[in-house]
Structure 1
Amino acid sequence: MSKKILAILSEYGYWGIELVGPLTKLEEAGYTVEFMTPKGKKAEALPPSYDTTYVDPPLGTCVTTPLAAEMVKAFEATNRLEERKNMSEVIPERPYFSSSDFLRKFEKYFSDLKIAQEDLTTEYAALLLVGGSGPIIDIVNNQRVHDIILAFHKKDMPIGAICYGVAPLVFARDFNERRSIIKGKHVTGHCIEYDYHDGTGFLNTDLNIGPPPYVLEYLLSDAVGPEGQYHGNFGKETSVIVDYPFITARSLQCSFEFGDQFVNVLDNGLKRYGW
């Protein structure tokens, strides 16, 4: 089995420890983590994620620990993210239905996609979707991200997602079947109690959209359906759920546990955890 993991990061800011936490655990287990961004631009950690004085409004406390800040700053200083893949050069774009010669373009899209998906799932053992506010802009409703998720899902390979990195799982659907891949599954993700009233911001833009544009808890609850279950675990310090092939984590406090269970899935065949 490949010892490489593909991590997808937003170009509008990722939450530092939500990458560095699982990254550390995976590397300690002998895995190599490689990075990909939507347009090939360098991903950067959101400043609050390495600021120990930052008070998270919903929680009313400092959420960036000295250890997390130190780890994120050390990782950013390595320039590891200077080496990354450009998703737009790896995965084809689905054509508009109004485009000329649509059917031929549509056929080519599926043909090219099949090759790209096979290449990714041959090179990598698992997929990691990193959270933070940035994914709201360029990851969640990104057709190429959906096609990468589907590649791993079709081969029953591990898919790990944390915080707002969980949101793309709702929308990654086979284009013809259009059914949720997490239907009937147990998942966790950012619960409504953690949502901002104001201040959802992003790197590389002055945009402050106030509250998040969607309530992730509601999206996940609807997508899993009555046969599945969304677990918010509000009041509990962490929330990590494994319902293979998905490893989902609620937020930054779960980063290390998320990494531990990601490794358990890869190395020990863990299929269920946290429910």
Structure 2
Amino acid sequence: MSKKVLAILSEYGYWGVELVGPLEKLEAAGYTVEFMTPNGKKAEALPPSYDTTYVDPPLGMCVTTEEAAEKVKAFEAQNRLESPLNMSEMIPERPYFSEPDFLRKFEKYYADLKVAQQKLTDEYASVLLVGGSGPIIDMVNNQRVHDIILAFYNKQMPVAGICYGVAPLVFARDFNERKSILRGKHVTGHCIEYDYHDGTGFLHTDLNMGPPPYVLEYLLSDAVGPDGQYHGNFGKETSVIVDYPFITARSLQCSFEFGEQFVNMLDNGLTRYGW
């Protein structure tokens, strides 16, 4: 099995420890992690994710520890995210139905996608979707991100998401079947109690979205259907759920545990955890 993992990050800000936590565990286990962004632009950590004085509004407490802040700043100083892989060059874009000669273009999209997905699953053992507010803009409803998720899901290879990096799993589905790949699964993700009322912001834009544009808990609860389960685990310090091939984590506090269980999936065949 390949000892490489593909990590997808937003160009509008990722939460530092939600990358650095699993990265530390993966690299300690001998994995090489390569980074990808939607357009090949540099990914940057959101400033609150390395600010130990930042008070998270819904939790009413400082959420960035000294340890996490130092690790994030040390990682950022390495400039490893300066030249990430460019998703838009590696995964084809699905054409509009209104385009001239649509059918031929649609057939070409599927042919090109098959090649691209095969290349990804040949090269990487898994895909990691890193959280933070940025994914709301350029990952959650990104068809290319969905197609990457499906590449690994269709081969029953591990798919990992943390915080708002879980949200793309709701929308990644076969274009013809339109059914949720989370149906019948157990997952976690940002619970209502963790949602902002105001201040959902991003790098490289002055936009303050106010609250997030969707309640992730509701999306996940609906996606898993009557035979699955969303686990918010509010009140518990961490929430990490493995229901193979998915591993999902609620928020930043879960980052290191998430990384540990991610490695357990890859190396030890872990298929169930946290429920």
Same fold (TM over 0.5): yes
> Aligned partners of 1:124 and 1:268: how far apart in 2?
17
In structure 2, the partner of 1:26 is 26
> Aligned partners of 2:82 and 2:200: how far apart in 1?
26
> Aligned partners of 1:82 and 1:43: how far apart in 2?
7
In structure 2, the partner of 1:72 is 72
Q: Give the C-alpha shift of residue 83 in structure 1.
A: 3.2
> Aligned partners of 2:151 and 2:247: how far apart in 1?
16
Q: Give the C-alpha shift of residue 248 in structure 1.
A: 0.2
Question: Deviation per CA, 1:90-130, whole angstroms, max 9, x where unpaired?
Answer: 00000000000000000000000000000000000000000
In structure 2, the partner of 1:239 is 239
> Aligned partners of 1:82 and 1:38: how far apart in 2?
14
Question: Deviation per CA, 1:236-258, whole angstroms, max 9, x where unpaired?
Answer: 00000000000000000000000
> Aligned partners of 1:86 and 1:190: how far apart in 2?
27
> Aligned partners of 1:79 and 1:152: how far apart in 2?
28
Gaps of 5+ in 2: none
Supply the AA of the counterpart residue of 1:241.
I
For the residue of structure 1 that corresponds to 2:81, the secondary structure is helix
Q: How well do the aligned residues superpose, as a CA RMSD in angstroms?
A: 0.3
Q: Give the total of aligned pairs.
A: 275
Supply the AA of the counterpart residue of 1:218.
Y
Question: Deviation per CA, 1:173-196, whole angstroms, max 9, x where unpaired?
Answer: 000111000000000000000000
In structure 2, the partner of 1:213 is 213
Question: Deviation per CA, 1:22-75, whole angstroms, max 9, x where unpaired?
Answer: 000000000000000001100000000000000000000000000000000000
Supply the AA of the counterpart residue of 1:36.
M
Structure 2 matches for 1:130-169, cutoff 5 A? 130-169=130-169
Q: Would you say 1:57 and 2:35 are equivalent positions?
A: no
In structure 1, the partner of 2:41 is 41
Supply the AA of the counterpart residue of 1:153.
Y
> Aligned partners of 2:82 and 2:42: how far apart in 1?
6
Question: Deviation per CA, 1:129-150, whole angstroms, max 9, x where unpaired?
Answer: 0000000000000000000000
Supply the AA of the counterpart residue of 2:134.
G
Contact 2:3 2:30 in 1 (8 A): yes
TM-score (norm 1): 1.00
> Aligned partners of 2:239 and 2:169: how far apart in 1?
17
In structure 2, the partner of 1:9 is 9
- Which ranges of 4 or more aligned residues in structure 1 deviate by more than 2 Å? none
Question: Deviation per CA, 1:169-224, whole angstroms, max 9, x where unpaired?
Answer: 00000001110000000000000000000000000000000000000000000000
Supply the AA of the counterpart residue of 1:243.
D
After TM superposition, the structure 1 stretch with the greater mean CA deviation from structure 2, 78-87 or 22-31, is 78-87
